[in-house]
Structure formats: structure tokens, C-alpha cells
Structure 1
Amino acid sequence: MERGAKGTPRNANSRKQEAEWKEKAIKELEEWYARQDEQLQKTKANNRAAEEAFVNDVEEISPGTEWERVARLCDFNPKSSKQAKDVSRMRSILISLKQAPLVR
């Protein structure tokens, strides 16, 4: 019953299976695009909120609050940092500048 010529049951089964795979692939692609779009919308919303908070924070500049602003932007805890780069030198420079500011 399994012959290799055109129009045989073997070709019909392979065409049927190929059509099923294509349908499944199309469905998976649609789901992936939906998830990507949802993630993009969440990222946009988070970025807008962060930008708004940053702009509000920039507008509140007052003398004497420089180091508090630097401390909010920097992670001074070396163990909680998940960065691959070593930032200990930068951290030590900022701490030394806070303790003994440069004189103008």
C-alpha cells in the first residue's frame, strides 16, 4: 500500500501532516506576536512612568540634595549588584567625594 509515486496514500498523509504543521506554526506565531505586543505595551507603560518620575525629580533640584540624588541613582551595596562589571572603584570614588568634596 505504501508506494512512492504521486497520488499515493503516502503522499496524501505527508501533505496532510504538512498542512497540520503549518496551521500549528501559524497559531504559535500569532500567540507569540500577541505575547510580544503585550510585553511591549507593558514596557512602554513602565518607561513612561519612569520618565515621568525622573522629570519630576529633576525639577526638584535644590542646593544640598546632590548626594541624595546620586545615592538614589547608584547601588552602593556590592552584594546586591547583579552587574557583570566591577563597579567597586567607581563606588569608592563617589563615597570619597561625598566624605571630602572637591573645593572650587
Structure 2
Amino acid sequence: MSDFGDFNSSSDPTADFLARERAALGEDADLFTADNISSVTSPVADVYSPASSALVPSQPQEVVPASDYSAFEADFPKAEELETSQAFHKAMLPDEEPEVVRQWREKQKELIAQRDEESEQRKQESVQRAREEIDRFYEEYNEKKQKSIEENREREENYQKDREEASSANVWERVVREFDVSNAKNTYQTRDVSRMKQLMLDLRKDANAPGTIVEA
């Protein structure tokens, strides 16, 4: 216990701790004095000085090519640069539309309106022609229908008239009707039938001629 000193001999714990450490280190305790500390630290400082840095070999480090960083920055620029670029682009845009562009837009608008008007006009003309064709068709159809009705009516009347005349009692009158008495002429190519026609006319006028009364 004599090596560690008497704990109750001093009232200063710091001095007691240093005394115990000095006793434990022995001769090496002199290296930690104030004079020795300055002499030891100076060579250490010289190691990190610029002159000595060239003599101390450094550890090998991996060198990244600068082109890799430039490619990365080109693909992924900074947000501040993007905002600045967009603001510059907006500033470069003209506030008003150029006169050439405005005239071109107006001309295109007029051409489109003109084409629409011509298309609508052609449509109306086509509709009008279709209506006229339909009206003409129905008009011709009605005319043909009316003409056919009149022809059928006339044909029916003639049929009834012929039927009534055929049922007449004077048979000689029907015979005379078959001859063209008024235009009967004698020609070289035909026989003279005027006498026979005259005989038929006389029989038609004779009420007592045979065959005049025909029972219905």
C-alpha cells in the first residue's frame, strides 16, 4: 500500500492522482512534463507541414473522371438552373403575336369561312335539285295516271256504246256501219261494190226488210 501513497495524507485529490501516476510510470513520467510536451509535439506538427507533406506517401485514392460529373450535370441540372432557364425562355418570348403570324391566321380563317360557305351553298343547291326532281316525278306520274284513267273511261264508254249498238234491232244498220259509204270510190284495182252498198242502205231504211227485227 506504500506504493499508492497515503490517501489520508493530503487534502488535494488532483495532486494525489498525479503523484500516483508518476509513481506508476516511473522514469517515463518525465516525458509528460511541460518541457517535453512542446519538444514532442513540434515534430508531429512538422509532419503535417507543407514541406513534409511531399515526403509522406499518401494512400491511393480512386479518381473520378470530370466527364462523368459533366454528363450527370447535363442530364440532371440543378433546380436553380432549371428555374433560371425557364424564366429566361419566358423572357425571350414576345409579348404580342408577330404581324406576319396574325395576318396568316386571319387569311386562314377567311379561307375556312369561304370553304364552309361554298360547301353550304352546294348542299342547298343539291337539296333544291332533289326537291325539283321529286316534284317533277310526281307531276309526270299524276299526268300519266290521269291520262290512263281517261283512256280507260273512254274505252269503257266505247265498249258500252258498241254493245248497245250491237244489240240494236236493225241488223242492216250494223252491216252498213262496216262500210265506208261516204268515201266509196271505184278504182282500177278494186271491184265496183257501189251497187251492193246502195242495196244495203235501202235495206236499212226499209222497216219491213228481212232480218230487221232481231229478238234479243
Partner of 1:13: 121
Matched, 1:42 2:150: yes
Match of 1:27 among 123, 135, 148: 135
Q: Which has the larger radius of gyration?
A: 2
Identity %: 6
**Residues 12, 70 of structure 1: CA spacing in aligned structure 2 closer, same or farther, 3 A cutoff?**
same
Unaligned segments of structure 2, at least 5 residues? 1-109, 198-216
| Amino acid paired to 2:142 | A
1:37 Cα deviation (Å)?
Answer: 1.3
Paired residues in the alignment total 84
Alignment of 1:53-72 (within 5 A): 53-60=161-168, 62-65=170-173, 67-71=175-179
Partner of 2:195: 99
CA RMSD of aligned residues (A): 3.5
Partner of 1:84: none
Q: TM-score, normalised by structure 2?
A: 0.31
1:60 Cα deviation (Å)?
Answer: 2.5
Partner of 1:82: none
Residue by residue over 1:50-97, the C-alpha shift from the partner in whole angstroms, topping out at 9 and shown as x without a partner, is 0111112222264543552124xx4855xxxxxxxxxx899x84x832
**Residues 24, 51 of structure 1: CA spacing in aligned structure 2 closer, same or farther, 3 A cutoff?**
same
Q: TM-score, normalised by structure 1?
A: 0.58
Unaligned segments of structure 1, at least 5 residues? 78-87
